Amino acid sequence: MLCSHCGNELVNPQARFCGRCGQPLAPSHSVTRVHPASDAKTDSGSRPWLVAAAGILAIVGLFVYFTRPGPCDSIFEQTAPRLDTTLHFLKTNGEMVIGRDKIQDLAESSQRMGILCKTCCIAQQSGKINASQFQDCLNTTKSYQTQVLQVASSVEAANTARQKGQDQVASEKIEQATVAASAAAGSVRKLGDTVAAISEASPSAISGGTGREQEPNDSIPQANSIAMGVTVAGEISKPDDNDYFRLHYDSKLRDIVLVRLENTSTTLMPKLTLYNSNKSQTQSTYDTTSGASLEFKFVAEPGDDYYLEVSPFSASAGSYKLSVLPQKAFDHYEPNDDALSAAPLSVGQSVTANIMDSKDVDWYRLSAIGKSLTVSLDNQSATLRPSVSAFDSNRSQIGSQHYDSTPGANLKFVLSTDPGKSYYLKVEGFSESTGTYSLSMQ
DSSP-assigned states of every residue in 385-430? -EEEEEE-TT-PEEEEEEE--STT--EEEEEE--TT-EEEEEEEEG
Mark whether 295 and 397 lie in a shared domain: no
H or E segment and range at residue 275: strand 270-275
Residue 337, pLDDT score? 95
Q: Coil, strand, or helix at residue 10?
A: coil
3-state secondary structure 24-60: ECCCCCCCCCCCCCCCCCCCHHHHHHHHHHHHHHHHH
Mark whether 350 and 317 lie in a shared domain: no
Mark whether 347 and 317 lie in a shared domain: no
Q: Which domain holds residue 176?
A: 75-200
Listed residues 182, 200, 218: the one ending a domain: 200
Residue 429, pLDDT score? 97
Mark whether 194 and 79 lie in a shared domain: yes
Half-sphere exposure of 288 (CA within 13 A, CB side): 1
The region that residue 127 occupies, defined by phi over 0 for left and psi between -120 and 50 for alpha, beta otherwise, is: left
The answer, yes or no, to whether the previous bond of 216 is cis (omega within 30 of 0) is yes
Residue 141, in any domain of the structure:
yes
Mark whether 351 and 408 lie in a shared domain: yes
Residue 385, in any domain of the structure:
yes
Per the DSSP assignment, residues forming a β-bridge with 353 are 437
CATH at 432: 2.60.120.380
The pTM (predicted TM-score) of the whole model is 0.55
Alpha helices in 128-247 (DSSP H): 131-163, 167-200, 203-207
Listed residues 200, 222, 243: the one ending a domain: 200
Per the DSSP assignment, residues forming a β-bridge with 378 are 438
Residue 169, in any domain of the structure:
yes
Task: Say which residues have a Cβ less than 8 Å from residue 320's Cβ, sequence separation at least 6.
Answer: 233, 234, 235, 236, 261, 262, 263, 264, 265, 268, 270, 310
The CA distances from residue 219 to 41, 243, 292, 308, 435, in Å, are: 91, 7, 24, 10, 37
Residue 282, pLDDT score? 97
Query: Contact, 244 vs 218, CB < 8 A?
Result: yes
Q: Tell me, rounded to whole angstroms, the distance of Cα 36 from its chain centroid.
A: 58
Residue 6, in any domain of the structure:
no
270-275 and 281-286 strand pairing: antiparallel
pLDDT tens, per residue, the chain with 442 residues: 667 766 666 656 666 666 556 566 665 543 344 444 444 444 445 566 555 555 566 555 544 444 445 668 777 777 677 787 888 888 888 887 888 878 888 888 888 888 888 888 888 877 777 777 888 888 898 889 899 998 999 999 999 998 999 988 888 889 888 888 888 888 888 888 777 766 555 333 333 456 788 989 999 999 999 988 889 999 999 999 999 999 999 888 999 999 999 999 999 999 999 999 999 999 999 999 999 999 999 999 999 999 999 999 988 999 999 999 999 999 989 999 999 999 999 999 999 999 999 999 999 999 999 999 999 999 999 999 999 999 999 999 999 999 999 999 999 999 999 999 999 999 999 999 999 999 999 8
Residue 104, in any domain of the structure:
yes
Task: Say which residues have a Cβ less than 8 Å from residue 379's Cβ, sequence separation at least 6.
Answer: 386, 408, 409, 410, 435, 437
H or E segment and range at residue 63: helix 47-66
DSSP 222: G
Residue 24, in any domain of the structure:
no
Mark whether 211 and 313 lie in a shared domain: yes
Residue 61, in any domain of the structure:
no
Query: Contact, 383 vs 408, CB < 8 A?
Result: yes
Query: Contact, 322 vs 344, CB < 8 A?
Result: no
Query: Contact, 219 vs 243, CB < 8 A?
Result: no
Mark whether 343 and 317 lie in a shared domain: no
Listed residues 146, 175, 200: the one ending a domain: 200
The region that residue 303 occupies, defined by phi over 0 for left and psi between -120 and 50 for alpha, beta otherwise, is: left
Residue 17, in any domain of the structure:
no
Mark whether 136 and 213 lie in a shared domain: no
**Structural domain count of the chain:** 3
